[in-house]
Amino acid sequence: MKTLTDFERIAKKSKQRSRLKTVVISVSIAILSFGLISKGLTELTSRNGNHIKDRYLLLSEIAYPNISYSSWYFNPTSNYTGQFHSDRFKSIDGIDVPYEQMEAFYSIRKFDLTDSSTWITWSEDGKSAYTRSNYYKSPMFYNIAFDYDTDSHVTVTNDISLTEQMTGQALEMAVTFDKPYTYQEIQKMIPDDLLINWYWIGSYSDFDTASRNPDAQLGLSADPEGKLGDYDFDLFRTNLKKANDNGYLDMTETAVDANDKERTYQLSDDAQAYLDENKDLETAQFSGVILTGRAENFKELKDKKWIFAANIGQSVQIQPYHHLTK
């Protein structure tokens, strides 16, 4: 009996060890599985955040008239949620002025591509547009193929005469040309004491461009002296194509024509048309520019036949410590 009892004791201990081993293995597998799932969800969250970042940084190279960013970063709110943030500014003849921040949220399941802080709202008279968050005045470009007299609440402006009342200030102004011009033609048109900050490619549609938000206004920034080089334009074309290929410009506009028929237009169509017809800087054409400078220097643009519209954006009182480019 003694041998049998020892055998039972050994078997019992073996069974206990087997159970313990099973428990340890099960717990280990559970922990490992949880870790892998947690890592996967974290990576998915990170991927969604990076999607916002990649789109925003690329659009900043091909859109956003005279809007630059000084920083961008992620602000995680949990393991699986977060916020993308970017601080932005505008340069007005070398003076940096604040602009709306970019904030977008992301999580495991979704990401927000809406740059709502730059959405514009119009004054009652249809002559001025402002950002919705801090009410910064937004300079607007107009489509020369669109009938603003009958089809829009927007009024075409020529704000050049207003600059006479803004002595001591520096300002930005969106100037829409009466037709597209080449880069070299534009250099001859703009006075030397005004700075070109940004070149607008215009639109191949007959839709209202003045109502577009800044992220839907396509163009490229000039260098600190207001110039463009072949490399700048080639890089713009590369970025524009990349944004289009990635679907970043799949922004649909809707309008009703004179026969009450609804029509739609994709911003991506404008991008592709521009890529097809403008291969290099020498022959490329632009439909407008953002100009900055002292208010009194804009008087030289008065009564210029090549100006279809001129709309003031932000302005700043010139201080003794400011160093203007022009």
Average pLDDT over residues 276-290: 98
Q: With a cut of 50, say whether residue 283 has pLDDT above it.
A: yes
The per-residue pLDDT for range 56-73, each reduced to its tens digit, is 999 999 999 999 999 999
Average pLDDT over residues 88-114: 89
Computed over every residue of the chain, the mean pLDDT equals: 88
The per-residue pLDDT for range 37-56, each reduced to its tens digit, is 655 556 667 788 899 999 99
Side-chain half-sphere exposure of 49, counting CA atoms within 13 A: 24
User: Which residues 6+ apart lie within 8 Å of 192 measured at CB?
Assistant: 326
DSSP code for 1: -
At 286, is the pLDDT very low, low, confident or very high (cuts 50, 70, 90)?
Answer: very high
The confidence score (pLDDT) of residue 20 equals: 61
At 311, is the pLDDT very low, low, confident or very high (cuts 50, 70, 90)?
Answer: very high
At 1, is the pLDDT very low, low, confident or very high (cuts 50, 70, 90)?
Answer: very low
Burial class (CB in 10 A: 0-12, 13-18, 19+), 303: exposed
Considering only CA atoms, which of 191, 185, 188 is closest in space to residue 173? 191
Neighbours of 156 (CB within 10 A): 19
The distance in angstroms from the start CA to the end CA of the chain is: 108
pTM strictly above 0.75? yes
What percent of the chain has a predicted confidence (pLDDT) above 70? 83
| Helices 230-245, 267-277: crossing angle, 10 deg rounding | 140
CA dihedral 124, 130, 133, 136 (to 10 degrees): -140
The confidence score (pLDDT) of residue 233 equals: 98
The per-residue pLDDT for range 193-251, each reduced to its tens digit, is 999 999 999 999 988 999 899 999 999 999 999 999 999 999 999 999 999 999 999 98
- Higher pLDDT: 214 or 153? It is 214
The full set of domain ranges for the chain reads 120-317
The confidence score (pLDDT) of residue 76 equals: 86
Neighbours of 180 (CB within 10 A): 18
